[in-house]
Amino acid sequence: MVFFLARGAVYGLQASTGQLKWRRAVGSDSLINPQPLSRQSGADVIAVDSRHQELVRLKGDSGQLVWRAPLGEAVADPVIKGSQILISTQGGRLLEVDAATGNAPRHTLIPQKLSVGVGVGDKGHLYQVGEHSNVYVLDEATLECREVFYLGHKPGTVAAPPVMALGFLFIADNSGENYSDLHV
């Protein structure tokens, strides 16, 4: 199965034949692509329903609703980490949603709007870029903020979550009209 977003709906297609298996409306203003929960064949799908401001889990083979989690505001692309789904909200909340139940037992509040998802690092750290200026380093186990680094970016210039590779954190900042800066 392959999943994609087009014209306000999430579609599930049989990869080998291209046959449409299911369709689910998620809102015409939704820009967040659906994500399978794992790489296994027939894995369930996580999608964001922008009409109702909900995170939904759908059966991969049928599109049937497994659970829905109300978010109450716009969100960035979900980040799937094992059995947890990390959601950054426009209001500054970082939620940890249990992929099995849809419950969000833990969350933290960042004192800025969040427009990109959280970056997952090594050694138990999460990296959340704020709307402007700062990067917040969070403890993965508790979601407590451990450090704040000044990056100096302007609102709307960081469009992708931070990436941890080879022990370094990479953040792309679209700082100019026709160029960008890579912070390492």
What does the alpha-carbon distance between residue 117 and residue 152 come to, in Å, rounded to a whole number? 18
Task: Please tell me whether residue 10 adopts helix, strand or coil conformation.
Answer: strand
Mean pLDDT of 110-118: 95
Percent of the chain with pLDDT over 90: 86
pLDDT tens-digit readout, 79-107: 999 899 999 999 999 999 999 999 999 99
Closest by Cα among 64, 67, 128 to 94: 128
Average confidence score pLDDT of the chain = 94
Question: pTM score, two decimals?
Answer: 0.90
| Token representation of residue 121 | 């690092």
CA 65-69-70 angle, 5° bins? 125
Task: Indicate whether 122 pLDDT > 90.
Answer: no
